[in-house]
């Protein structure tokens, strides 16, 4: 268990039970993700995502711009499976095929945890109807596999501070620490908690919208340490976008990394609603 009980309203994060079947599936997929990252660039590019906000597939970023991250990532949800399977056929690469096969089962294993967290936010924290919203949203859970390369200066930022677009995020795997959260009250950076048999769950932009500002989207970042500086860092997270809930309007307001960390903590519900696409 974690050292102290965290509360999503007070701390921006809670620890939840990490089902064994999901944990084993994530660990297996992590091994194959590392092997995928070692493939030649021309093979990885055959799995490229169609767009950078909600596409499915591979993406490489070179850290361009004042808030750009240097990393490669692979995004997966069931809606993009057919395109990935077509890429597997055309490349005929066993490493890529094994990786895609491994990630396919993650959504099914994650569904109970997603539904239970939705019920938790409704019952424990009073977000009416959130259990049903989470249940409807579970089939399109979005998994992101991350690789930050070695060579970063220890203490330097390798993932700029931001809030996530979706409803909530599960932090499922990391090879070394470095992920930090911005506290809601004191605006101090603290390590994101890690505990045996538990996953860290934190809420994002859509949940702050649905809850009328009662639950904040957590600002978080990743810093390099001695380990990631020498051998890089791998991580896996699961985003759950809330079905039938307005999405953050990136086209109008830009990347969330461009905002001051914690910008959303003090916004009124009326101000916050203006950041979303009207349905």
pLDDT in tens, 229-246: 999 999 999 999 999 999
Whether 162 maps to a domain, the answer reads yes
Whether 125 maps to a domain, the answer reads yes
Whether 57 maps to a domain, the answer reads yes
| pLDDT band per the 50, 70, 90 thresholds, residue 126 | very high
What is the distance between the alpha carbons of residues 236 and 188, in angstroms, rounded to a whole number? 24
pLDDT tens readout for residues 151-168: 999 999 999 999 999 999
Whether 3 maps to a domain, the answer reads no
Lookup: tokens for 1 = 């268990």
What is the distance between the alpha carbons of residues 24 and 14, in angstroms, rounded to a whole number? 21
How much is the pLDDT for 279? 60
pLDDT tens readout for residues 95-107: 999 999 999 999 9
Mapping DSSP to helix (H, G, I), strand (E, B) and coil, where does residue 276 land?
A: strand
Residues in the chain: 279
pLDDT at 185 over 90: yes
- Contact yes or no for 255/58 (Cβ under 8 A): no
Q: Of 45-49, 111-115, 179-183, 202-206, which range is least confident?
A: 45-49
How much is the pLDDT for 54? 52
Whether 278 maps to a domain, the answer reads no
- Contact yes or no for 178/216 (Cβ under 8 A): no
What is the distance between the alpha carbons of residues 235 and 174, in angstroms, rounded to a whole number? 4
| Residue appearing with tokens 């970063």 | 152
Average the pLDDT over 108-124 and give the result: 97
What is the distance between the alpha carbons of residues 96 and 259, in angstroms, rounded to a whole number? 36
pLDDT tens readout for residues 130-139: 999 999 999 9
Whether 194 maps to a domain, the answer reads yes
Whether 1 maps to a domain, the answer reads no
Average the pLDDT over 81-104 and give the result: 94
How much is the pLDDT for 68? 54
pLDDT tens readout for residues 24-79: 999 999 999 999 999 999 999 999 976 444 579 999 987 655 545 789 999 999 98
Angle between helices 94-104 and 20-37 (to 10 degrees): 160
Which stretch of DSSP H or E encloses residue 223? strand 220-223
**% of the chain surpassing 90 pLDDT:** 87
Domain count across the chain:
1
How much is the pLDDT for 63? 60
Whether 279 maps to a domain, the answer reads no
Which stretch of DSSP H or E encloses residue 237? strand 233-240
How much is the pLDDT for 51? 47
Q: What's the mean per-residue pLDDT of the chain?
A: 93
- Residue range(s) defining the domain that contains residue 205: 8-273
Lookup: tokens for 108 = 């099914």
Residue 81 belongs to domain with CATH number: 2.60.120.330
E-strand ranges in 55-212 read 57-62, 70-76, 142-148, 157-162, 168-174, 179-182, 189-191, 198-203
How much is the pLDDT for 91? 94
pLDDT tens readout for residues 193-225: 988 899 999 999 999 999 999 999 999 999 999
Reported pTM: 0.93
């Amino acid at each position: 268990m974690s050292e102290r009980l965290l509360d999503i309203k007070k701390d921006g994060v809670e620890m939840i039970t990490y089902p064994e079947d999901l944990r084993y599936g994530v660990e297996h997929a992590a091994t194959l993700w590392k092997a995928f990252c070692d493939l030649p660039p021309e093979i990885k590019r055959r799995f490229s995502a169609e767009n950078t906000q909600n596409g499915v597939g591979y993406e490489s970023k070179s850290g361009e711009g004042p808030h750009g991250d240097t990393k490669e990532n692979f995004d997966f949800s069931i809606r993009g499976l057919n395109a990935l399977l077509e890429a597997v056929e055309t490349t005929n690469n066993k490493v890529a095929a094994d990786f895609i096969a491994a990630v396919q089962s993650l959504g099914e294993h994650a569904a109970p945890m997603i539904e239970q967290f939705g019920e938790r936010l409704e019952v424990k924290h009073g977000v009416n109807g959130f259990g049903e919203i989470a249940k409807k949203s579970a089939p399109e859970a979005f998994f992101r596999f991350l690789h930050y390369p070695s060579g970063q200066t220890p203490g330097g930022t390798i993932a700029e501070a931001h809030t996530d677009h979706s409803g909530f995020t599960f932090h499922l795997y990391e090879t070394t620490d470095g992920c930090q959260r911005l506290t809601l009250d004191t605006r101090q950076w603290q390590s994101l908690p890690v505990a045996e048999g538990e996953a860290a769950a934190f809420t994002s932009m859509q949940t702050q919208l649905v809850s009328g500002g009662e639950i904040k989207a957590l600002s978080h970042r990743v810093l390099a340490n001695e380990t990631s500086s020498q051998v890089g860092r791998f991580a896996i997270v699961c985003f759950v976008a809330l079905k039938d809930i307005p999405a953050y309007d990136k086209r109008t307001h830009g990347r969330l990394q461009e905002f001051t960390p914690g910008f959303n903590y003090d916004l009124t519900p009326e101000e916050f609603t203006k950041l979303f696409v009207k349905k």
